[in-house]
């Protein structure tokens, strides 16, 4: 499979999604350990054909969705996206999943989130990027805090899973709170030539 290095970090890079990604997306969205923290993916039925259709629609609409690819071996390990993009009010919502569980807790989500924020703030010129995360997902909440997101509120008892209620934690970041990694580097290369 051919990937394209849109934004590159040390551990991973973001590549525009492609139809061949459907196999991995289907695997992740049907693995409850991966899907339950995401939300809707856990209770929706996502066969391969439906995922191919979703990816095709996203490509056609030029949605801001990327595959997360490891830099050292081009392995596809996750996806991330900016959705609900509002160019008038310069805001969007962020989503991310590292679908390959052997890469959890190794910094890939942290780096991919930073790359996606760089894209949103410095190429899409957004002012505010927010996200929602279920309160039991402490691994994700910790990652988002390390990146610089701040909690801005909660929807209490927002999701019922296995007879237990969980809050939906809302977090956001402003453009001025983010330090560019990749885009700033690309601009300095252009000035040096």
Q: What whole-number distance in Å separates Cα of residue 72 and Cα of residue 6?
A: 16
Please give the positions annotated as active site: 144
On whether the CB atoms of residues 114 and 130 are closer than 8 A, the answer is no
Which candidate, 125, 72, 119, 129, places its Cα nearest to that of 95?
A: 129
Which candidate, 185, 192, 188, 193, places its Cα nearest to that of 9?
A: 185
Phi and psi for 107 in degrees, rounded to 5?
90, 0
Q: How many CA atoms lie within 13 A of 67 on its CB side?
A: 27
- Give the distance from CA 155 to its chain's centroid: 21
């Amino acid at each position: 499979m051919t990937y394209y290095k849109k934004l590159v970090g040390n551990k991973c890079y973001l590549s525009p999604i492609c139809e061949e990604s459907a196999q991995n997306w289907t695997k992740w969205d049907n693995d409850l350990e991966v899907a339950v923290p995401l939300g809707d993916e856990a209770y929706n039925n996502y066969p391969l054909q439906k995922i191919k259709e979703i990816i095709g629609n996203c490509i056609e609409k030029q949605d801001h969705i990327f595959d997360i690819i490891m830099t050292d071996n081009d392995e596809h390990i996750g996806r991330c996206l900016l959705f609900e993009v509002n160019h008038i009010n310069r805001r969007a919502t962020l989503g991310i999943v590292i679908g390959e569980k052997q890469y959890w807790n190794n910094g890939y989500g942290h780096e991919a989130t930073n790359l996606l924020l760089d894209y949103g703030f410095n190429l899409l010129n957004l002012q505010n990027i927010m996200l929602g995360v279920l309160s039991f997902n402490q691994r994700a909440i910790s990652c988002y805090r390390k990146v610089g997101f701040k909690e801005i509120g909660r929807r209490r008892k927002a999701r019922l899973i296995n007879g237990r209620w969980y809050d939906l934690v809302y977090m956001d970041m402003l453009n001025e709170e983010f330090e560019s990694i990749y885009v700033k580097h690309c601009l300095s290369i252009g000035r040096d030539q």
